[in-house]
Amino acid sequence: MELHDLTIHELHDRLKRKEVSSVEATRALLARIEAVDPKVNAYITVTPEEALAAAQDADRRIAAGDIAPLTGIPIGLKDIFVTKGIRTTCASRILGNFVPPYDGTAVARLKEAGAVIVGKLNQDEFAMGSSGESSAFGPTRNPWNLECIPGGSSSGSAAAIAARTATATLGTDTGGSIRQPASHCGCVGLRPTYGRVSRYGVIAYASSLDQVGPLTRDVTDCALMLQAVAGHDPLDSTSVDLPVPDYTKALTGDVKGLRLGLPKEYYIAGLDPDVKMALDEAIETYRGLGVEFIDISLPHTDYAVATYYLVATAEASSNLARYEGVRFGHRAEGAASLIDMFRKTRAEGFGAEVKRRIMLGTYALSSGYYDAYYLKAQKVRTLIMQDFLKAFETVDAILTPVAPTPAFRIGEKTRDPLQMYLSDIFTIPVNLAGTCAVSVPAGMSGNGLPIGLQLIGRPFGEETILRAAHAFEQATAWHQRKAQI
């Protein structure tokens, strides 16, 4: 097996036995990036010098007997994470030359664990998108079919796993931006409970919805990544001060007696036949493992997309007001006045999708419309949250599709934003409720594209959904399939 094919835990075992060095593993990943990424466009910035220096440091730690699960492991970061001395663009022209002076908390924790950062990954601009097509650096392509989207907004994070150009990656999930690309690219993607992982040093899209999470090749790696980045952070006022369990101890393979809910609102008539077949087969697999299924209802699901696009765009309008050309990032030339400079900078620096969402959010927050739109959306959000809490009184987790279809072709939905927004119909409610969910490979479409299933857990119930995902993974072989690129 090639070094770039190894999971975190497989590479860790080889590093621990001194069968391979971190420098060798990092060089193998960098060579893989050079060979494959021109086709996929998963990376915006590759950092070979910094990566090899970190790998050398990791090898010194290992030689001294100081090895943690992520020590010496090559990892990629979505380009939304602030990284000291390394360009951080958020896939936008307005931040095209921005080099931060500090590391975000999640990045700092990975470095403390000994991880090797090999580069910054492509994404939808400011994490606004469901397909990876809105990046100012060009669309990311799905390694399973280069004519198809990888999902978004963490497009590069998922595509790098599928293309074997990163051993693991970090992404962010605002409305499904980890789980949906994980499903489309055949990898594992976890959105932790809001507040479980610090958002300090993550460029904000919608602050009450954004959450950091891992994308990996299997569930064990997902648990290891979450272990490294989770925990309270005094620099993030929304970070929750709760103990971080050892997530790998939950991966027992035993799910007998687990109660999984099947919400009728998610199993709709318009579900793609291949997705439905994959979910039906997954349910039968779980039945064979002793899982009990209970029909449930999440009655406010139909309002989730509309609610999300009011809350998220309103928060985006506020968060993105800071990009005006004065303090950092792009500044337009030839402006006649300060206001003219603001106008020209934002017109030149933001892409079409970002401008659309800023305008939607500004409208929703404007005088005379705040109560009618934004305030009402927040009330519906509370109802959606209550739906989940009520369901968890009778079930341990909820099983649903991740996306209504497999990955679609690049350009297929760019002219119809509403159809694009519906790509996240099954993931958005989780973010509105602030709870946790994981996507795990569960099948393949008739034309050879991955399909994932989603397991939704109660708040801070990551152990339960990881246990259920791991048991399914052990009973199937979907996660072992590789994109031929």
DSSP 371: I
Residue 379 annotated to the active site = no
User: How many other C-beta atoms can be found within 10 angstroms of the C-beta atom of residue 211?
Assistant: 25
* Ordered DSSP codes for 398-414: EEEESSSSSPPBTTSST
Structure tokens that stand for 116 in this block: 């090797």
In terms of Cβ atoms closer than 10 Å to its own Cβ (0-12, 13-18, 19+), residue 220 is buried
The terminus-to-terminus CA distance of the chain in angstroms comes to: 16
How far is it, in rounded angstroms, from Cα 318 to Cα 6? 42
264 is catalytic: no
User: Nearest to residue 285, comparing CAs of 444, 437, 443, 450?
Assistant: 443
Quick one: 50 exposed, middle or buried, by C-beta within 10 A (0-12, 13-18, 19+)?
middle
Determine the residue type at 485: I
Q: How many whole angstroms separate alpha carbon 435 and alpha carbon 458? A: 6
Catalytic residue among 134, 135, 177, 445: 177
**Angle CA(114)–CA(79)–CA(124) in degrees, nearest 5?**
145
Where residue 90 falls (left for φ over 0; alpha for ψ -120 to 50; beta otherwise) is: left
Catalytic residue chosen out of the listed positions 21, 22, 134, 153: 153
| Catalytic-role residue among 78, 111, 344, 413 | 78
Burial of 343 (0-12, 13-18, 19+ CB in 10 A): middle
Q: Could you confirm whether 208 is annotated as catalytic?
A: no
Active site positions, annotated = 78, 153, 177
